[in-house]
């Protein structure tokens, strides 16, 4: 017999919303299972039961924003720490990119529940995604994500001569971090001191640690793409809204 699972988990699996959003909608009576309103948190259902949501849920979800920022050095991705400001502190009307194409007026309520979907460490710059939409967060940092992240990495070889070809192959596949083998990456030289990294995972300080293992010191690291969304000409320290026609 098919096992039951929590309604909120099933809604997340169906791509309707995040689990947290699901719990909010259930509590408000906005969710139906086989046509009947379900308002009790923790309710379990069978996978073949039909789940629908009321129009109010879709309307509320459509107001949720996703913001792209070109994070400068010295800002942390998430909560403020060690006296450093979080990147969300840069999200204010005066820092909005003048070329932002979304007809959306900035309002401080858009900062509520605005969380980073992925991290960039304090010494790194480039594309950072902050979102109120649980579906976007799941797509970018969920367990089964396969979204590519592209980085330009300026490096210095700490040994004599040049990085051996075998070590470049190791950066592509063969290294382990924290006792686990890394998913294959795409790493190639862009010029004599800059590498392009394309990853499908994001362990803490992953690129810096990978480079250290083959004798490379990272001088600068910039994320330029997440999925199909590029940093482009977005100036450092400025932000814009994600457009409806920009799927990751």
Which stretches does DSSP call E strand in the chain? Answer: 5-6, 31-33, 36-37, 44-45, 51-53, 66-71, 115-116, 125-131, 149-157, 176-177, 180-181, 186-191, 194-199, 216-226, 229-230, 239-241
Residue among 34, 48, 82, 121 flagged as catalytic = 121
Cα 2 off chain centre by: 33
How far apart, in whole angstroms, are the C-alpha atoms of residue 12 and residue 5?
A: 11
> In this structure, how many other beta carbons lie within 10 angstroms of the beta carbon of residue 173?
13
121 is catalytic: yes
What does the block give as tokens for 214?
A: 């083959």
Contact 152, 224 (CB under 8 A): yes
Q: Which active-site residues does the annotation give?
A: 121
């Amino acid at each position: 017999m098919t096992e039951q699972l929590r309604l909120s988990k099933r809604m997340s699996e169906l791509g309707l919303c995040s689990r947290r959003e699901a719990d909010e909608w259930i509590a408000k009576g906005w969710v139906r299972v086989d046509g009947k309103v379900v308002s009790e948190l923790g309710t379990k259902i069978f996978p073949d039961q039909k789940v629908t949501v009321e129009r109010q849920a879709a309307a509320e979800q459509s107001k949720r924003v996703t913001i792209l920022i070109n994070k400068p050095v010295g800002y942390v991705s998430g909560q403020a720490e060690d006296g450093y400001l979080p990147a969300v502190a840069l999200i204010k009307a005066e820092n909005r990119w003048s070329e932002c194409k979304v007809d959306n007026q900035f309002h401080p309520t858009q900062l509520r529940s605005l969380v980073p979907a992925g991290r960039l460490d304090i010494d790194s710059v480039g594309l950072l995604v902050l979102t109120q939409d649980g579906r976007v967060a799941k797509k970018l940092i969920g367990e089964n994500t396969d979204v590519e992240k592209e980085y330009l990495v300026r490096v210095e070889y700490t040994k004599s001569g040049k990085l051996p070809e075998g070590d470049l192959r190791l950066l592509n596949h063969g290294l382990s971090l924290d006792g686990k083998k890394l998913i294959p990456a795409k790493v190639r030289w862009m010029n004599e001191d800059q590498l392009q990294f394309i990853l499908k995972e994001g362990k803490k300080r992953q690129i810096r640690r990978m480079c250290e293992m083959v004798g490379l010191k990272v001088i600068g690291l910039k994320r330029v793409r997440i999925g199909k969304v590029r940093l482009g000409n977005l100036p450092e320290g400025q932000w814009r809204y994600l457009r409806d026609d920009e799927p990751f």
